[in-house]
A = this chain, B = another copy of it.
Amino acid sequence: MAGDRPQEAGPEQASPDQRIGEFELIKRYLAPLASDPGSLGLTDDAAVYAPHDGHELVLTKDMLAADVHFFADDPPEAIAAKALRVNLSDLSAKGAVPTAYLLGLGLPDDWREDWLERFCCGLSGDQSAFNVVLLGGDTIRTGEGLQISVTAIGETPVGTAVRRSGAAPGDLLYVTGTIGDAAAGLKARLDPGFAHRMGLSESDHRHILDRYLLPQPKVKLGGAVRASASAAMDISDGLLADAAHLARASDVDLLLELADVPLSSALTAISKADQPTFQACLNGGDDYEILACVPEDRASTFEADSRKAGCPVTRIGKVTPGSGHLQLQGADGPLPIDQFPGFQHF
């Protein structure tokens, strides 16, 4: 679409500063990313997509805004990758194999062609890394800051997508990776003294910054999730907030052993330096790890599958009968969850 603009001016028109128009932009930078025949070379109004025989689609859509979900001056490659990866993370948690995506790109008034070229490089790299293709989308001028909207498509054999709602008492609770790093990385971005105050090594400091900048979605775990998990989701709002969401959706209680939550050396350092900051990071979100409930008789298979996939999991608790609550077990007994920093997320 185009043409509909109160100011009667838009990215589609020849710019007085000689920047390329929307068509040239699509042709030069986006069309090379659209290798699927269903994308119709991005020259049509829509894309055509048929799932593989016996499969259905899993669809997710996440929006990101400059200076809300990323810093406007982040490397364009990283912004592109983050926009795609947060969506792939959702698909993996449902046990789906990502296949394609549509991109909505809202450019600020001062967009530059070299920025766009690097943004598309980031997409291209991730398309190779995650085996997905650009299927279609839209490019507009926002009139304000950069806005990105990705709709990602995955597939699962019909009826096998994993919900948040399937957990049953007796299931074990697992998580991938380490928790809290991205939230610590955001604090470090906002506060130049953070790393020093927390006593972080240079490599710990780099680690948390990287984890904020560039999520590592556990796409390779999708098969194991589908094969073994009774319920799963990715952690974006924060470990405790999301565990509570899963408990509610499944109408069970989750008992989470705080001491078992896997930590990077950076988070371990923060936990020694400043407990409230550590606890805020633990539930700070942006982890894009997978939280999964697995029936006990599938646990060893799930653990083995996850190791094989290169996404090892850690058991951090279990599912108990209940009515949708999260219970926290600390070193010295139960912790009152409503006093946990950052838990009142909504």
Residues of A within 8 A of B (CB): 1-8, 10, 12-14, 21-24, 40, 43-51, 56-71, 82, 86, 90-91, 93-94, 96, 102-106, 135-138, 140-145, 147, 149, 151, 154, 156, 158, 161, 163-165, 182-183, 186-187, 189-190, 212, 233-234, 236-238, 241, 245, 249, 284-286, 344-346
Given A3-B183, A141-B68: A96 touches B46 (CB 8 Å cut-off): yes
Query: What residues of chain B lie closer than 8 Å to A189, measured between beta carbons?
Result: 6
Q: A59 contacts which of B7, B13, B68, B102 (Cβ < 8 Å)?
A: B102
**In the complex the two chains form, what is the Cα distance from A67 to B236 in whole Å?**
31
Q: Which residue of B lies closest to A283 (CB)?
A: B3
Known: A50-B51, A142-B68, A346-B24. A86 touches B1 (CB 8 A): yes
Residue pair B44, A48 in contact (C-beta under 8 Å)? no
Q: Return 5 A-B CB contacts under 8 Å, by A number.
A: A4-B64, A4-B182, A8-B186, A61-B102, A63-B106
User: Which of B59, B149, B237 is within 8 Å of A63, CB to CB?
Assistant: B149
Q: Contact between B94 and A46 (Cβ–Cβ < 8 Å)?
A: yes
How many copies of the polypeptide does the oligomer hold? 2
Complexed CA–CA distance, A66 and B4 (Å) = 11
Q: Are A106 and B144 in contact (CB under 8 A)?
A: no
| Cα distance A23–B96 in the bound complex, in angstroms | 24
| A249 adjacent to B104 (CB under 8 Å) | no
Q: Are B143 and A68 in contact (CB under 8 A)?
A: yes
The answer to whether B13 and A60 have CB atoms under 8 Å apart is: no
Which B residue's beta carbon lies closest to that of A231? B44
Contact check: which of B67, B245, B284 meets A143 at CB < 8 Å?
A: B67
Bound CA–CA A71/B90 (angstroms): 33
Contact A151 B61 (CB under 8 A): yes
Would B57 and A140 count as touching, CB distance under 8 A? Answer: no
Q: Within the assembled complex, what's the spacing in Å between the Cα atoms of A137 and B62? A: 7
Does B190 lie within 8 Å of A286, measured CB to CB? no
Inter-subunit contact A5/B138 (CB<8 Å): no
Question: CA of A68 to CA of B151 in the docked complex: distance in angstroms?
Answer: 22
Q: Given the known A-B contacts A61-B102, A68-B7, A183-B3, are A233 and B44 also in contact in the complex, defined by CB atoms under 8 Å?
A: yes
CA A103 – CA B141 in complex, angstroms? 19
Are A190 and B346 in touch, CB under 8 angstroms?
Answer: no
Tell me, rounded to whole Å, the shortest Cβ–Cβ distance linking A306 to chain B. 19
Q: Which residues of B contact A154 (CB under 8 A)?
A: 46
**C-alpha gap A340/B138 in the complex (Å):** 27
Residue of B nearest to A144 (CB): B144
Q: Is the CB of A23 within 8 A of B346?
A: yes
Partner of A61, one of B104, B141, B163: B104
A197 nearest CB across to chain B (Å): 17
C-alpha spacing A2/B147, complex, angstroms = 15
Contact check, A135 vs B59: say whether CB atoms are below 8 A apart.
Answer: yes
CB-defined contacts of A190 to chain B, threshold 8 Å: 6, 8
Asked whether B64 lies within 8 Å of A140 as measured between CB atoms, the reply is: yes
Q: A46-B60, A135-B59, A164-B44 are in contact. Are A7 and B90 (CB under 8 A)?
A: no
**Closest 6 CB pairs between A and B?**
A3-B285, A149-B149, A50-B56, A144-B144, A46-B60, A45-B90
List, in ascending order, chain B residues with CB within 8 A of A71's CB: 6
A43 cross-chain contacts in B, Cβ below 8 A: 164-165, 245, 249
Q: How far is the CA of A90 from the CA of B137 in the complex (A)?
A: 12
A40 to B164, CA, bound (A): 10
